[in-house]
Every structure is written in structure tokens, then in C-alpha cells.
Amino acid sequence: MISRQTITHPFNRGDYTVGAPSQAKWARNTPVGDGPAALQGETVTVPDGVLAELREVAAAVHVERAEVVARTRDWWAGSMIGETEGRPATPDAVVVEAADADQVWETAAALGIDPDRPTSLNTTKVYALYGIDLDAIADLRFP
């Protein structure tokens, strides 16, 4: 996903990938390590049945180390240090890619998440909790 800030601010200079994770520049010449995870704690095994259900509802599901690492590499110093030492930050994971909002909700349902109790709220919804309608503000500036 490319944020609006990435498009409107020049710090990225258009050096991003459309339709795939934008790899951190340091990662271009750093192979996927085969050592133990640098930052990951105890992992939970996701049953094959759950993986199969996720694959039915989502655009893609990644579990192979190289695919997971490619989608989780970032610019954080802790990640870079581990990766350049051959220890991927969090290689043991399931990465689910959704193509649209419906797939997000179907993925949540497959994981047993109640659709009436979302676990996160976007900025607009947080402000709405306090009675502020951001869509009604034509020009919003912060000092």
C-alpha cells in the first residue's frame, strides 16, 4: 500500500514499488538469511486448515521464509542489523494479502475476529469518537 503522504511528500522520491512491498535499499544486496530470527519470540503454529481457509478468501497467503522476509523487511535499525548478520527479523509468520475490503473482512472472519468489534480504527474514525467529522473540515492545519 502506498500512503497519501508518500505520494505528496518528496522524501521517497518515487522510489517505491507498485503492487508489491517496497524493499528497503539496504536489502537489495542482502540475501535472505538462514540463521535464527533476530527479533522474533515464540511462534504459534497456524493449522493447515486455517491456512487453506485463508487461501480461499485472500488474494495471497505467504508462509515460505523468503516470501515472508521479502514482505517484512523495513528501514528500522533493529531489522537491518539482524538481516545484515544473516538473521531475518521475523521469518516465521503468515503474511496475508487482501485485494479489497471484502477480503480483509473475510480474512478476519476466517481468523475468528468478530466483524462488529474491529481491532483498529483509522484516523477518521478515531476523531469521530470525539465528535469531530474530518470530512466536514475543508482546510485542516496544525500549528
pTM above threshold 0.85: no
- Whether the CA torsion 11, 38, 26, 60 is positive or negative: it is negative
* Domain coordinates in residue numbering, the chain: 4-118
What pLDDT shows up at residue 33? 79
Q: Which of 71, 65, 60 is nearest to 32 (CA)?
A: 65
Kindly list the distances between the CA atom of residue 60 and the CA atoms of 25, 70, 82, 85, 103, in Å, as whole numbers in the listed order. 25, 14, 27, 29, 10
Residue 96 pLDDT level (bands cut at 50, 70, 90): very high
Query: pLDDT (tens digit, 9 = 90+) per residue, 37-86?
Result: 877 888 888 999 999 999 999 999 999 988 888 787 766 677 777 777 88
| CA–CA distances in Å: residue 23 to residues 17, 18, 28 | 8, 11, 7
pLDDT at residue 2 greater than cutoff 50: no
